[in-house]
Amino acid sequence: MKIIWVGLFVLASVWAVAQEPLPSWNEGQNKTKIINYVKKVTETESVDFIPQEDRIAVFDNDGTLWSEQPVYFQFFFAMDRIKTLAPEHPEWKTEEPFKSLLEGNIKSVLASGKEGVLKLIMATHTGMSDEEFDAIIIDWIKTAKHPSKKVLYSELVFQPMLELLDYLRTNGFQTFIVSGGGIDFMRPWASEVYGIPSNQIIGSEIEVKYENKKIVRVPKVRFIDDKEGKPVGIHYHIGKRPVMAFGNSDGDFAMMEYTEANTKYKTLQLYVHHTDEKREWAYDRKSHVGKLDKGLDYGNEHNWTIVDMKKDWKVIYPFEMKE
């Protein structure tokens, strides 16, 4: 049998060379840091070896795995949905923030604050069964286009991060999404787009109840998976401290700090810094979406990996590779 195993081993090696990891990442300090970390914690003889069941990697979604400008894409979904539902709701012609939204006055919608946004979320995300909501989301993600990029929202995922997800899974990591966005907004499409099963997608939650053999969505917020909520979401859904954490904003800071404080294993924290105003967007300390201020200072001081999108990434989106 020895010849067979040698043969398979040679085949595997050829495959590994053909599939050099992270092809869309430019050579440099950040790519090296990621690859060195993965080697260190996966080589059996390494002092930093992590058993496979504890290789937990958590990823924020908005701004980390896909874009989030000029507003979170889930907000675009809510706006599109309000327009679709408007004929059934004549009262929205006079009721804020629906009135402003239907008149195309987005600034005024955003100015309505938390309360206004919550009204939009409840009107568009609740009152139906979970299976009906899934169908609405799938229809939207397959057809709706980003206002300035003019492509499907699912095309605005980051190619280098897709490669990173694959690379980690190939090395025995379990990849989880831990997002401030809605858990039920992501699940219908994110499994396919990111290769992450629904039970590894964590996010903010609407109340649901079991009724007539169905899960029905109730107009009440159950859980906000943001800031200090992220370690809490990780606790309930994963039940283990992660060893790798990926984010792009101060909203991810608690999750990354929680990961860094893992006393059992060597860890890695990575911030995606949006520095590319040409290919994507450039924003950080003063942005109303994905603000990165405290985290940038802390990360720089604590040897976190700060990805410079402009310098570190050969391409941003998958469609650039076909061009």
The CA distance from 130 to 121, in Å, is 15
CA distance 35 to 131: 40
Q: How far is the CB of 41 from its own copies (least distance, A)?
A: 18
Question: 226 vs 312, which CB is nearer to its own copies?
Answer: 226
- Percentages helix, strand, coil for the chain, rounded to the nearest 5? 50, 20, 35
Told to check if 236 binds its own copies by CB under 8 A, we report yes
The yes or no reply on residue 187 touching its own copies (CB under 8 A) is: yes
- Element of type H or E holding 271: strand 268-273
Q: For residues 26 and 198, which CB has a smaller minimum distance to its own copies in the complex? A: 198
Q: Is 104 or 197 the residue whose CB approaches its own copies more closely?
A: 197
Residue 240 near its own copies by CB under 8 A:
yes
In the complex, least distance from residue 199 CB atom to its own copies, rounded to whole angstroms: 5
Closer residue to its own copies, CB minimum distance, 4 or 17:
4
Distance CA(147)–CA(73), nearest Å, equals 11
In total, the chain counts a number of residues equal to: 323
Site for its own copies in 2-21 (CB under 8 A): 4
Stretch that binds its own copies, among 75-83, 102-110, 179-187, 296-304 (CB under 8 A): 179-187
Calpha distance 26→179 (Å, rounded): 27
Q: Does 130 bind its own copies (CB under 8 A)?
A: yes
Distance CA 227, CA 180 (A): 8
Smallest distance from its own copies to CB 263, Å: 9
Q: Is 9 exposed, middle or buried (0-12, 13-18, 19+ CB in 10 A)?
A: exposed
Residue selected from 2, 150, 209, 288 as contacting its own copies according to rule CB under 8 A: 209
Instruction: Let me know the angle formed at the C-alpha of 105 by 103 and 108, rounded to the nearest 5 degrees.
Output: 130
Which residues sit at the interface with its own copies, rule CB under 8 A? 4, 53, 130, 174, 176, 183-184, 187, 191, 197-201, 205, 208-210, 213-215, 228-232, 235-240, 254, 257-258, 261
